[in-house]
Structure 1
Amino acid sequence: MEFVSDGIERLTGYPAAAFMARPGLSYANIIVPEDRHGVERGIAAAIQDGGEFQLTYRIRCANGDLKWVCEQGSAVPHGVSHVLEGLLFDFTRVRNADMLVREQASYLQRARDAIVAMDMNSRISYWNSGAERLYGWSATEARGKKFSELLCENLPAYHAAYETTLATGEWSGELSHMRRDGACIETDTRWTLLGADATLGAQQKILVISTDISERKHNEAKIYRLAFFDALTDLPNRASLLDHLRRALLGSARTRKCGALMFCDLDKFKYLNDSQGHAAGDMLLQAVARRLEHCVREADMVARLGGDEFVILIQPVEDTREGAAAQAETVAAKVVAAMAAPFQLAEMMYSVSVSVGVATMCGTVDTVESTLRQADAAMYQAKACGRNTYRFHDPAIQAAWSARAELENGMRRALRDSEFVLHYQPQLDRSSRVIGAEALLRWRLPDGRLLYPAEFIHAAEESGMIIEIGRWVLRTACTELARWQRFPDTAGLTLSVNVSAGQFTEPDFVPMLAEIFEQTGVQPSSLKLELTESLVVSDFTQTALTMGMLKQRGISFSLDDFGTGYSSLAYLRKLPLDQLKIDQSFMRDVLTDQNDASIVRSIIALGDSLGLQVIAEGVETPGQRQFLSDAGCFMYQGFLYQHAISAEHFTAYARNVH
């Protein structure tokens, strides 16, 4: 060496003089033998090119320690040879730190988990090999992309995790991520907030470590379905039903709401299994399961107990057992009707019926065991009653259901056998002259007993039979009105007919009336339809439209029971009404109750101001009639004059009262 500084001793442990002596210590000799060849090649290349060099290698120090050295220099021409000039410095700390970083980086790369770092704008800055394997994108493709856009199918869940990480420093949970191939994978994920480091120039980031748990979730779901679902029909099984029933009763006890449980047993299912084999039986059970699912609301549950037994759980949302029974009855009727259509089993058509037992339930008094027992008992009652029907366990509800079913059957018979009749109550003017009548429906039973509308109309409306009954009433009334119009002494009479809301809102109501007019030959100008306030309120626009079309045919309209519902001046102003009818409930105490008297006067004054006729029903005494006359009402209907009477007696009455 030509020159070496004193710093060589701090680096190697050898004094500078040791390298300057002749013969002295050769610097090349303290270079680790494994690194010498590389150093020689590097220097030789620098001499050949006449350029600079930078080498890192290990040396053995005077105390035996190994150090990493970084040598930087250049080959300077000196005569026919070259002189090497440069400097040496201890590179050990930097080298060790670099090795540590490389080692740690290799750990991250070898990790099976997906490890991703993203900045606070969701931009990905680190993406390990585990992420490449899990998601399908290479690190080059992923870096710079937004984590939320690249992977997250459920953005609300991503934002929730993000906000929690910012607030608490970390978040852990399960997230669904999207792979490059579009598949969705379930991950168990931990997010950690990494603080900024000004000294290193590192910005705040979020470290995301995700483990693929798709297989575990799949296995869990498989185990769950095996435990809680029927393998044949894919319906919830007994265990699932018991759990849901227990929860429903707990909720019912808390909310005081009522629900129902229904046992459905296929009639003569064993015959199919014995005659056609279990494969046909299995096909039938699967088809039955699908039909049952279409009979219930989304919140309700269909389960299979086993064999041919199915159960329907009606969630407790009704305030009373009666309300729950009504809802259950609707479902039970659907179930019985749904089973009526034959089932296609491969090449065979097969018909089956079902017996349904219904038990209402309330968590304050019922248990899982008692509810199951009651529904099962009710189902056996249904079988005992001839199958293909349903029965309630509750004796009171069963009695009410039976009575209503009997009533509905009776109304069908009444229509078929002409048991319905119309009676006519006269309507008179101030001179006690008959000006018309109201047609009132009566039901004459085979035993001669007469039923009034209050005893059956509600059931008719609930069952939908009011449409057919109302059609019969209109046809019969128009036939009678046409008969009046053929005789001079009754030709000027009007006839009022009550029309239910369900009938009036039927799409074919106007064409149906037109057909009746044509068949009976009646002049519609003498027909008056009485509508209720509830009809007007429920669908004002459609009601007004229908009234307008009928008004063009000459029909007039009366608002029945005015003052008892939701009357509004806006309705009275906009509807083509001709008459207001004062309800008999106001007339009953009009002479003794100041409030009723005020209401009646107000109705009369309102009708007068709007140019509408006002008629009072329920006029029973001369005092009531005098009150109405003094208040300005001059049309009356009630027992003071006549009860509702048959068509024959009404005609005689109208001709005799002038």
Structure 2
Amino acid sequence: MRRTGVGGCRCRKSTCAASAIGDRVPRRTLDSLVTQVAAELMGVDATTMVAASERVLSWLVEHFDVDFCYLRHTDAERRASVLVAEWPHRPPVEPDPLRVIYFDEQSDGVYAQLEHRLEPMIVRPNPDNLDYQRSIEQSAGIAEISMAAVPLVSRDSPTGVLGFIKKGDRDWSTRELNVLKAIAALFAQLQARIVAEERLRYIAMHDDLTGLANRRALLEHMEDRLRPGCAGPVAAFFLDLDRLKALNDFLGHTAGDNFIRTLAVRLRDNLDAGDMIARLGGDEFVIVPAKPMDAAAAEREAGRIQQLIARRVTVGEETVSRGASVGVALGIPGETTVADVLRRADHALLSAKSSGGNGVAVFTDAMRAQFELQDDVELNLRGAVSDGSLLLHYQPEVDLRTGRVVALEALVRWQHPTRGLLPPGAFVGVAEATNLAGELGRWVIRTAAEQFAQWRRRGLASNVVIRINVSPVQLVSLDFVETMEGVLRRYGIDGSSVCLEITEHVVVQDLARTQVTLRGLKRMGVQIAIDDFGTGYSSLSHLKALPVDAVKIDRGFVQRLGASADDLAIVKSIVGLAGSFGLGVVGEGVETTVAARTLVALGCYRAQGFLIARPMPAEEVEEHLAAGRIALDLDLPGTSRSVLPGPS
């Protein structure tokens, strides 16, 4: 076979064409050639198409004794012919003039003639047609050549071309051209299949509304970025638009969609081409910059993105803007998993939103500890309810004038296997967020009632009320009144000895349902107290509408008595308000003698706090119950000693 003018094998690899592309094969019949090409192309996908096409082209070059062979696809949108594969390889040229050939720039050239052609075209050496000759000579760098161009046809439309170039002239038989048409048809089928597969992949990897990458594409991209040896650190920005729901509510969901689409375009236009921008749905986005960056650089870039988002957008006849909360996390290739990076970015986002929104938060070790605890709690709390690792401590409430123990508040604790004794603040919120609040609450009520009944049978706590905190989930449960009635009956406790404590925000969540539940409890004689009173949720109308027996002043106000005139005024007003409604009033969080004396001076005589007694196990509480009182030295006016130890 002659390679004159082609330069033989021009592949830059050290191996020759035969070893680089595939073993040489014996001379085939035309029919066997078609069969072998069909077998070669059958399992090809987008990632292997070029390599497989080059193998086939190498066979065709050898079989038909030509100097050069190429495969091109037509890009209908750009009206261009795009090079897919060639054999042998031409010397590298940048830019390559044959990589993309636009038809409108080659109006008299060979490729322009092929744009709409459905049948093979033979071009022979012709001194009278220099334009044609230059076009095909440029294809392989061979002078005085002939060419056979066989269109790839799909659904009666040309989609590309399979071309052969030979130095000098060559006669193509009808049989050969028919075989080439069959091979071109195989390439056309492969092209159509890959286009369809790529379309399906695009749909599977992109968001319908914006065309941005979706979660699946994001995960694949981050897997690649976090492989060992890749450049890092890899930053991830988790974005959440603030108050998008308000825009949807007032302007409609179409306006909200238009806002999201406009924002997507703005992000694409103002970020680097290599940056991954993904929409996870709703108003959540994740951006992974292509450039490695440390925490300081990532925080600056997050701030820049936040400012981009804050620019106003025209939606219909309105011009609107939304802020964004951004959580930032870094991953180290080879050390950090994709799940870890996204979880940390999400935690940082939650921190940004909890600080009022429209801010940037970078994941820190402190956040790590907080959320590791939360994850641990969520994973193990359900088992703790049933395996005996929960326990109750009791905090006494006394009459500050006498020290007499008037109530005990049951407070749940968790003896965690690795973290030690956890207070309720570490896990009650998780219980409420994971539908465990009801189960946890029932355990507390049963356990507190059982312990209280034991004390009563032993002659202790005869004039003491047991206080139990109730979660929002319990309060709106349809069977809560029935459950309480069953507990009281089982342990032989009269309802008046039990006080259920509810927080202010529970009252306003579902006032109608709360009224029904509380009235049912009152029919059993159960007392009701509003805990953390004064934090701003309740109103006078709620106090009038609900059968409440007492309010407990929020510890934040009590702790600052003696140091804050504002808190003094608030506590004074709460005591006065409770008196006007005929309600009992309890001061929480008493930690100083100044606070205790101030409460007494204001007419609030009942209190609990660390000055009086910390929460303690049941056996320690028994000592105070047996004594009936807790000795205090408050030096109240009118007495030499405010409380003397002794029986009540």
Q: TM-score of the superposition, structure 1-length normalised?
A: 0.44
Bigger-Rg structure (1/2) = 1
TM, length-normalised to structure 2 = 0.45
